[in-house]
Structure formats: structure tokens, C-alpha cells
């Protein structure tokens, strides 16, 4: 089974295209876990290649479980980033039969929850898997960035990545589906090995800070921090000890929320 997304289906290519040689994403997550006093048990939702999960397991001594819906990503994680317990699953509907001290959802994985129902289901699953006082830590695109800004939408973008001597060139167009609050992407891949071009479609929910606060409160979470920078994917990037800004207008959003009300909820 494939996801119809070349980078998700070819995790080596994902790591080449989005390198993180200093493990900045995992180190940022660890700094947040530390800062808010999280216990050792961590669930990485949409763990992808497993590189963050493994770093947290190996270098921070955490008990990490990674969950992802992509069989290719899970295969890659178990082979190249062993250590954590990797599980197949949908972040909107899973039951691991245990609780964690924190749930991570990095690099916009949360934005694969497209509808309000998806978001409710995701938060319901998080609540069921977090110990009282557990943390939800997410890092993602910021929907509010697109209010009054079109620079990411105006011009198609071309990138290239080479693996095993073959160069894969992507031509990416982004646009906004306003009614659905989705950032939609069409990406055409061309490879210099003679294979025919492929066109792929992806979408991310555009979540706004106030909307996120409302959803989290409705699911029993208290927002401890919500800010745009610095983070592992901001420019300039986060460095150890860097303080969060008091703003939410740049292109990334960083969320830290604590589960304070564990009573069962059926949604807002």
C-alpha cells in the first residue's frame, strides 16, 4: 500500500529532502519536555522515518512509541532508527492500551487531520492515551500566516533531490481551499531515469491560533504555550535556551498543552 506521496513512500528521499543532521527537531522537543517536567513515556504521532523518536530514545533516555499510518515509513523507522516501539495506526483512531506522559506531533503531522471531526477524533485519542497532566506538543504550519500573505502561493517552486544516482525534480504549486480551510498542493515529480512524470496531491488543514485554543479547551487541555518562533523549522532556527516569542504571525506554530481535565468528552 502506498500513500500516493513520493516522499512518504520513499522515506530515504524524505530524509534527503528534509535533512536534520543536528537533530534539531528532536532536541527542540526534548527541551520542551524537560521545561514542562514531562515523565519519560512519549508517544510520537505521525513519527515518519523515526529519526526524532530514535534520538529521544537514545540520547534522552525516553521510552518512545512511534505511530504512523505509512507502512513504508514504519519499515524505514524499524530498519534505520531502531529502539522505539513502532506501531501502525491512524492518529484519529488508535488504541495502544496504555498511557503516556507526552504526545508529540511534529512537522505538520497534525494538519493531516483535515476536518473538525478528524481534529476531535485526534484529540479524543490523545486524551485517552495521556496520563493526567500529560503534554501535547505539536509543531506545524501556521494557518494565520496566510492572512494577508501570498508569498508561498504566488510562484510554483522547483526542488531537486538525488538518490542512488537518480535526480528527482519536483514542481510544486500551493493554493488555498478557503471553504475547507485546507492548504492544497499539487506536485509533479520528474526523474532523470526515464520514468514518466507523476502528479501527486496533498493537503494540510489551516489551523488558526484561536481555533486551536478553542478545540484544546473543549477537549480538556490547557494551552501552556502557543508561539511562532523559534522552532526547529523556523528561520532563524531554534537553538538551545532560545526563548519563545510572544507572536503567532510567522509560518510555523508551536504548541504546548497540558491535559488538565481527563473526564470523557464527546467533542465541543
Ligand X SMILES: C[S@@+](CC[C@H](N)C(=O)[O-])C[C@H]1O[C@@H](n2cnc3c(N)ncnc32)[C@H](O)[C@@H]1O
Contact pattern for ligand X over residues 50 through 69, marking x by CB under 6 A: --x---------------xx
Segment lying near ligand X (by CB under 6 A), choices 46-54, 145-153, 198-206, 234-242: 46-54
Of the two residues 92 and 229, which places its CB atom closer to ligand X in the complex? 92
Instruction: Determine if 46 is a binding residue for ligand X (CB under 6 A).
Output: yes
Instruction: Determine if 170 is a binding residue for ligand X (CB under 6 A).
Output: no
Please classify residue 96 by burial: count the beta carbons closer than 10 Å to its beta carbon, then call 0-12 exposed, 13-18 middle and 19+ buried: middle
Instruction: Determine if 13 is a binding residue for ligand X (CB under 6 A).
Output: no
Instruction: Determine if 26 is a binding residue for ligand X (CB under 6 A).
Output: no
Least distance in angstroms from the C-beta of 5 to ligand X: 8
Least distance in angstroms from the C-beta of 61 to ligand X: 20
Instruction: Determine if 92 is a binding residue for ligand X (CB under 6 A).
Output: yes
Instruction: Determine if 200 is a binding residue for ligand X (CB under 6 A).
Output: no
Of the two residues 90 and 211, which places its CB atom closer to ligand X in the complex? 90
Least distance in angstroms from the C-beta of 9 to ligand X: 9
The backbone torsions φ and ψ at residue 224, rounded to the nearest 5 degrees and listed phi first, read -95, -30
For ligand X, the binding residues in 97-156 under the rule CB under 6 A are 106-109, 112
Of the two residues 19 and 132, which places its CB atom closer to ligand X in the complex? 19
Kindly list the distances between the CA atom of residue 136 and the CA atoms of 44, 74, 160, in Å, as whole numbers in the listed order: 10, 22, 34
Give me the residues that bind ligand X (CB under 6 A), please: 3, 8, 25, 46-48, 52, 68-70, 73, 90-92, 106-109, 112
Amino acid at each position: 500500500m502506498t500513500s500516493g506521496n513520493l516522499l512518504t513512500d520513499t522515506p530515504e528521499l524524505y530524509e534527503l529532502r528534509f535533512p536534520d543532521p543536528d537533530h534539531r527537531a528532536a532536541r527542540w522537543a526534548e527541551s520542551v519536555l524537560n521545561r514542562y517536567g514531562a515523565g519519560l513515556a512519549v508517544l510520537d504521532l505521525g513519527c515518519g522515518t523515526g529519526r526524532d523518536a530514535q534520538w529521544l530514545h537514545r540520547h534522552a533516555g525516553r521510552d518512545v512509541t512511534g505511530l504512523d499510518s505509512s507502512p513504508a515509513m514504519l519499515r524505514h523507522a524499524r530498519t534505520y532508527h531502531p529502539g522505539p516501539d513502532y506501531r501502525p495506526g491512524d492518529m484519529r483512531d488508535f488504541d495502544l492500551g496504555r498511557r503516556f506522559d507526552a504526545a508529540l506531533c511534529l512537522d505538520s503531522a497534525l494538519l493531516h487531520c483535515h476536518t473538525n471531526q478528524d481534529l476531535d477524533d485526534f484529540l479524543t485519542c490523545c486524551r485517552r492515551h495521556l496520563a493526567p497532566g500529560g503534554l501535547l506538543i505539536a509543531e506545524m504550519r501556521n494557518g494565520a500566516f496566510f492572512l494577508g500573505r501570498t508569498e508561498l502561493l504566488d510562484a510554483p517552486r522547483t526542488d531537486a533531490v538525488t538518490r542512488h544516482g537518480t535526480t528527482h525534480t519536483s514542481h510544486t504549486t500551493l493554493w488555498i481551499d478557503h471553504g475547507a480551510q485546507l492548504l492544497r498542493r499539487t506536485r509533479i515529480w520528474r526523474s532523470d531515469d526515464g520514468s514518466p512524470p507523476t502528479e501527486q496531491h496533498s493537503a494540510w488543514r489551516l489551523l488558526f491560533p484561536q481555533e486551536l485554543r478553542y478545540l484544546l479547551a473543549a477537549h480538556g487541555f490547557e494551552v501552556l504555550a502557543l508561539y511562532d518562533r523559534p522552532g526547529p523549522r523556523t528561520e532563524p532556527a531554534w537553538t538551545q535556551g532560545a526563548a519563545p516569542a510572544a507572536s503567532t504571525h510567522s509560518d510555523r506554530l508551536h504548541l504546548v498543552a497540558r491535559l488538565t481535565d481527563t473526564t470523557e468528552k464527546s467533542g465541543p
